[in-house]
Structure formats: structure tokens, C-alpha cells
Amino acid sequence: MSSAGLAVVRRAHHPDLDMKRVAALSAAITLNLAALVFALRPLAPQFAEVVQATKTTTMQIFRDPPPPPPPPPIDVVPLQKSVPITVPVHVLPKMSPPVITAPPSTEVSDNPQPSPPPQTEIPPPSMAPGVVSLAYRSSPLHFPIQALRMHMQGTVLLRVLVDESGKPIDVVVEHSSGYSVLDRSAREQVLSSWRFQPAVMDGRAVKAWARVPVDFVVQDL
């Protein structure tokens, strides 16, 4: 084979053609980068929030609490039976009643007679029973001025307790005259100035209750 057949056919290299290729490649790369940046631009804030949320999220792991300690052992003490207490009872011996013996009498009577029982003296009564009638020793009576002016009149029945000397020691209005002025005046006058004959029982003067009427009549004055 001749050297002419081994010759490599080479194309002519033109410098303007290489510059165009480089410019086209550069423009294509620039466009691709611009499209990529534009496509990733809206996702940047969301991606940042996701990254921040991922950073602030903390996980807490809860473990089961330990089991409580076992209760302390309980000592069981058996109850002791109570023993009844017996109290000794002392039995006193029976005592026979004393026997009273009368001394022997030296004198023997054929007709013995029992001695009479001693007589107790009963004191004489100091007050007559019930209500008695007594005589007057003095019975002055003065008509109350107020009753006289108002023409009051009537009879006051008094129950008077007279002592052994004939002096009234208590006066009770048993029946009113209808006027308190006359009742009060009759009681005060009998108690202060009236005198009576005392009641007598068994020959001695005693206290006694007596009914005493006191008359207040205008026409008699």
C-alpha cells in the first residue's frame, strides 16, 4: 500500500467556528442556571421553615416509673386470753342474837300486878281552835274624811287574831265594804287601838281568831 492511501483526510480548522460553539454553550448553560434558580426561588422560604421546624422540635422520652417498694412485713402477735380475776369472799359467821336475861327477883308476890305505863304530860293548847266571839274592851272608830266627803258607807268584816293580853296582832279583811278607803281604815284602826277580852281555855288565856264587823254609817255620825 502506498503512503498516499494512508494519508488522513483532515478538515480545515476555522477559528470563528469555535468561538460560536463556545458562545452557544455558554448561553445554554446560563439559560439552564437561570431556569434552575427561578424554579428553586419559591421553594426557598418553605424549605427554610421546614429546616427551622425540624431544628426546634424536641422529643421527650417518658420512661415507666419504678415499681413501689414492697410493704414492710407485719408482725402478727397472738392475742392472749384474759384470765378472770377471782376476788376472795370472806363469809362472816352467823351471830346469834343476844339473849337478855332478867336478874332473879328476891321477893315473890302472890298477886303480881303490872306497873302502869308512865303518863306523858300534854301541854295546854296555846290557841283556841276555829273562830270565836270576843267581847270588846275598847273600840274607838273614826270616819275617814275622804269617805265622809264622798258619802261612802258600808260594813267591813274583819278576821282578827287576838293574843293572850287581848291585843290584836293580825287583821285580815274577810269581806270588803266595797270601798278600799273604808277597808284600809277599818284594818288600821282595829290593829292600832282596839282591845278585846282574850279567849280562855282550861282556865288560862290563849290566842284566838275572832270575826269583827266594823260599820261605817254616815247618819250615825
- The CATH number given to whatever domain includes residue 195 is 3.30.2420.10
Residue 23 lies in a domain: yes
- Report which residue type is found at 157: L
* Enclosing domain of residue 34: 19-55
- Among 194, 214, 202, smallest CA distance to 129 is for 202
Torsion-angle region of 41 (φ positive above 0: left; ψ -120 to 50: alpha; else: beta): alpha
Residue 105 lies in a domain: no
- Among 174, 127, 171, 172, smallest CA distance to 155 is for 174
- Across the chain, mean pLDDT equals 75
Reported pTM: 0.44
Residue 65 lies in a domain: no
Start-to-end C-alpha separation, the chain: 212
Q: Count of residues for the chain?
A: 221
Three-state DSSP class for 159?
strand
Q: What's the rounded Cα separation, in Å, for the pair 185 and 16?
A: 173
The neighbour count for residue 158, using CB atoms within 10 Å, is 21
Cα-based angle 52, 56, 58 (whole degrees, multiple of 5): 145
What pLDDT digit, counting tens, does each position of 54-101 carry?
555 566 666 777 788 887 777 666 666 655 555 454 445 555 554 444
Q: What's the rounded Cα separation, in Å, for the pair 33 and 25?
A: 12
What pLDDT digit, counting tens, does each position of 180-202 carry?
999 999 999 999 999 999 999 98
Three-state DSSP class for 200?
strand
Counted domains in the chain: 2
Three-state DSSP class for 54?
helix
Q: Are strands 136-138 and 199-201 parallel, antiparallel or unpaired?
A: unpaired
pLDDT exceeding 90 applies to what percent of the chain? 35
DSSP-assigned letter for residue 123:
P
Q: Per-residue pLDDT averaged across 31-46, rounded?
A: 71
Q: Is residue 143 a contact partner of residue 216, using CB atoms and an 8 Å limit?
A: yes
Residue 115 lies in a domain: no
pLDDT at residue number 122: 64
Q: How confident is the model at residue 109 (pLDDT cuts 50, 70, 90)?
A: low
Q: Per-residue pLDDT averaged across 106-113, rounded?
A: 55
Of 55, 78, 102, which residue sits at a domain end?
Answer: 55
